[in-house]
Structure 1
């Protein structure tokens, strides 16, 4: 029987596999982790293989070889999590499976490749960067732009391994790298994330949100939050610039996207882009607040099994904006903490007695809150109040 090979690492219900259409006569064979096994759809599952980590590309490929030997090559390969996109592309290339290949995928995974492509357009500015394996190039970058600089993995996720180089003495860290790294000019401007679906010609639906703190600051004593921008000229300005950027990255190709930008007010600067759905609470807010399933669209783009979720998204949007005008926000923190009283926009909080281990940095957060309201200032107020409550709670614990 033909099958869809699915690389799956989420513990929760980000992807609703039991609802998504499968090509006729096909079942799913999944490669997952022990923690993510329980979130797979049992009725559609022909088999599952568990690995300690899907980050081990060699182990993933070895398991695919075993599956191919027993069941033949998969008809399709699906990976919805950012960390699995390159493995999925490598599998497609090796066994001649249709779908996105490595060269295409790397433009959305290798941050230096992203910068080179982003530099082909002029709507959004690009910060200079160099590969970290040339100390001479890094020293030249510092001579031209000064310190601080940012050292980060070229294929990193969730700001893992990002460090600030504050002076020449920090350049010794370049020699400690165990994976491909890059060094980029530092920018202290607020960070936006822009999420949606591009159909190859235009943005069908998009939202823009502003981070509270930044992903790089997320740590044991620093929560991370995000608030969607209110409808208006600022949001429209961002969308216009983003549409030109997407025309450079994916001309004639459909993608769901998660884009991060620095916002200097009169100028947007490119940070990074992913051809995948954003992390943390983003897929849940899209589904729960505006009834658009971006992961359902991503599934359709990788399987070609239906257009249901794209059709629904078109019917729930107009000129790139969701028809439903309510806005969402979220807060996550590594420490556990119950939300306080007086949060009128809070609609979901992760139970504090939940015992589970997640492979992702954000999914593993012990505090996860989702908020929604038609009143933008109320969202801003409540997210600020959550940050105050977390700071007060943690100071008492310390």
Structure 2
């Protein structure tokens, strides 16, 4: 009997293994196509078939999928945006080519371009920060003057907060533009920079599947000028009116962008003028939000997404109600890890469900101001928000590390 396969384009360091396990539980054979399969450690642990292919090349992916179809019944294709959101558009192209369930490639592409996304949201009357597009330092400075300092500078295409910075004065604008355009930041398309108003207020991440709001996550960041996740909590402590308004705005975003198939994640801030949409992502969130939803509500968004990908029915019913949260471990500076202790002690704290370290001893740590700054995480669950935070505090206190400063070049 021919095996049914789930094709996974690229991988993800926190949710990639969960997709692999979900596929196996559904009787599928997961096969990963990646430009560098070796960078996803879980592939070996989970004994996943992995094929080296240029995932920027649609023709190469079409050839490889066609070759695999000779030996497998390809039940579905999906992928990840750990490094590059353009993967999402290519996945949509592949689904369309092989007549498999998937989102609209046009909708995905215009959503992944943050400038185009802002335009479409604003035209639909959805509150977004004031914004401009800049190609060089002069345009960035002029845009910032029109918007008013401080401003956020970010690549128009990207993910994981890579290249995102709060700039409080012209010197910081020039410094960050030099970083973005000076060959340090890696561009996968022509350099285009979004200059936008800094919307101040609590940050929330809305998790949706199809056209249904599953829940809202509260997010904490580290200190500016960068936006590195320090903690997430689900469900967010919101009143009924706040929740309803955020949910309504989120569904309006889907309509404005032509989304509504599969997962989506909408990031916003609650400001003096109510919810202001920072970003719409046509995918599951990457900072452990799907895991928190499962811990708190018993809804496995990853498994339900795979069901959708292979054309099966899904189930988003809440099984129970708990409070789940994650704490990210972030070093204060650069260096080489001499030792890191306490992982097992932290994992033994009642209420802790996972402690995971992303680095080993002797690993070099060079902070980038994005998701790569995190060296591990802790997840916990309990009946109350306060109790869950106490559990995380206790566990985080047990994990210690020592780093030697990196030698100057």
Superposed pair shares fold, TM > 0.5: yes
Report what 2:335 is aligned to: none
**Does the 8 A contact of 2:11 with 2:32 survive in 1?**
no
The alignment status of 1:65 with 2:71, answered yes or no, reads no
Residue 348 of structure 1, aligned match among 335, 354, 360: 354
Aligned CA-pair RMSD: 4.1
Report what 1:106 is aligned to: 109
Are residues 381 and 156 of structure 1, via their aligned partners in 2, closer, same or farther at CA, if it must alter by over 3 Å?
A: same
Report what 1:367 is aligned to: 376
C-alpha deviation, 1:270, in angstroms: 0.9
Report what 1:235 is aligned to: 243
Q: 2: CA distance between counterparts of 1:148 and 1:231?
A: 28
Report what 1:133 is aligned to: 135
Report what 2:208 is aligned to: 196
Matches within 5 A, 1:166-205: 166-169=168-171, 170-171=173-174, 173=178, 175-176=181-182, 179=187, 180=191, 181-199=193-211, 203-205=212-214
Are residues 89 and 40 of structure 1, via their aligned partners in 2, closer, same or farther at CA, if it must alter by over 3 Å?
A: farther
C-alpha deviation, 1:326, in angstroms: 0.8
Q: 2: CA distance between counterparts of 1:265 and 1:151?
A: 22
**Does the 8 A contact of 1:112 with 1:182 survive in 2?**
yes
The alignment status of 1:245 with 2:248, answered yes or no, reads no
Are residues 9 and 232 of structure 1, via their aligned partners in 2, closer, same or farther at CA, if it must alter by over 3 Å?
A: same
Are residues 326 and 76 of structure 1, via their aligned partners in 2, closer, same or farther at CA, if it must alter by over 3 Å?
A: closer
Report what 2:78 is aligned to: 78
**Does the 8 A contact of 1:346 with 1:369 survive in 2?**
yes
The unaligned stretches of length 5 or more in structure 1 are 317-322
Provide Cα deviations, 1:253-274, integer angstroms capped at 9, x if missing partner.
3332211111225511111111
Q: 2: CA distance between counterparts of 1:108 and 1:183?
A: 17
The DSSP-based 3-state class of the residue aligned with 1:156 is coil
Are residues 396 and 101 of structure 1, via their aligned partners in 2, closer, same or farther at CA, if it must alter by over 3 Å?
A: closer
Matches within 5 A, 1:282-361: 282-304=289-311, 306-307=312-313, 310-311=314-315, 313=316, 315-316=317-318, 324-335=320-331, 336=340, 338=342, 345-350=351-356
The DSSP-based 3-state class of the residue aligned with 1:108 is helix
Q: 2: CA distance between counterparts of 1:35 and 1:271?
A: 30
**Does the 8 A contact of 1:337 with 1:352 survive in 2?**
no
Q: 1: CA distance between counterparts of 2:120 and 2:91?
A: 22
Are residues 70 and 395 of structure 1, via their aligned partners in 2, closer, same or farther at CA, if it must alter by over 3 Å?
A: closer
Report what 1:225 is aligned to: 231
The alignment status of 1:115 with 2:118, answered yes or no, reads yes
Q: 2: CA distance between counterparts of 1:41 and 1:383?
A: 27
Aligned length: 365
**Does the 8 A contact of 1:258 with 1:276 survive in 2?**
yes
295-304 or 330-339, which deviates more: 330-339
The DSSP-based 3-state class of the residue aligned with 1:155 is coil
The unaligned stretches of length 5 or more in structure 2 are 332-339, 364-369
Residue 19 of structure 1, aligned match among 19, 22, 25: 25
Q: 2: CA distance between counterparts of 1:250 and 1:243?
A: 11
Are residues 134 and 397 of structure 1, via their aligned partners in 2, closer, same or farther at CA, if it must alter by over 3 Å?
A: closer
